Amino acid sequence: MKGMNDLLRQAQVMQSKLTKMQEELGERTVEACSGGGMVRVLCNGRQEIQSIHMEKEAVNPDDIEMLEDLTLTAVNEALRQARSMMEQEMNALTGGLKLPGMF
């Protein structure tokens, strides 16, 4: 039973570290831009979009599709960066061990 108790203790320590990492990632942000900085998106480590900024020049009522494309590109890049940041932190925490359901 000693081995089982050690395993449970290690699992509790890992859970505590994961919770702390998730809290810290929620406070960290990444920024992605498109159109040479015409559209900027700020995203946190929980993959929540925090803000979207558009330069006036990006808003052309005659070309809404361009603004939509620029926004979509910046949002997708911000989310990709946030996922990458989370994966890097997770790999550092678990030593590269892939835990199901974590990312």
Let me know if residue 9 belongs to a domain: no
Burial class (CB in 10 A: 0-12, 13-18, 19+), 34: buried
Instruction: Note whether residue 83 is domain-resident.
Output: yes
Residues 87 and 89: their CA atoms lie apart, in Å, by 5
CATH number at residue 52: 3.30.1310.10
Q: Is residue 22 part of a domain?
A: no
pTM: 0.76
**How many domains does the chain fold into?**
1
Measured between alpha carbons, how far is residue 23 from residues 18, 62, 76 in Å? 9, 43, 22
Cβ 34 vs Cβ 52: under 8 Å: no
For residue 2, tell me if it sits in a domain: no
Q: How far apart are CA 43 and CA 25, in angstroms?
A: 11
Inside any domain, residue 23: no
Task: Find the length of the chain.
Answer: 103
Site of tokens 């480590």 = 45
Q: Return the SS3 of 29.
A: strand
Domain of residue 66 covers: 28-103
Determine the pLDDT at residue 97: 63
* pLDDT by position in tens, the chain (length 103): 678 888 888 878 888 888 888 888 889 999 999 999 999 999 999 999 999 999 999 999 999 999 999 999 999 999 999 999 988 888 887 776 665 655 5
Q: Is residue 21 part of a domain?
A: no
Type of residue numbered 99: L
In a domain, 10, yes or no: no
The verdict on residue 7 lying in a domain is: no
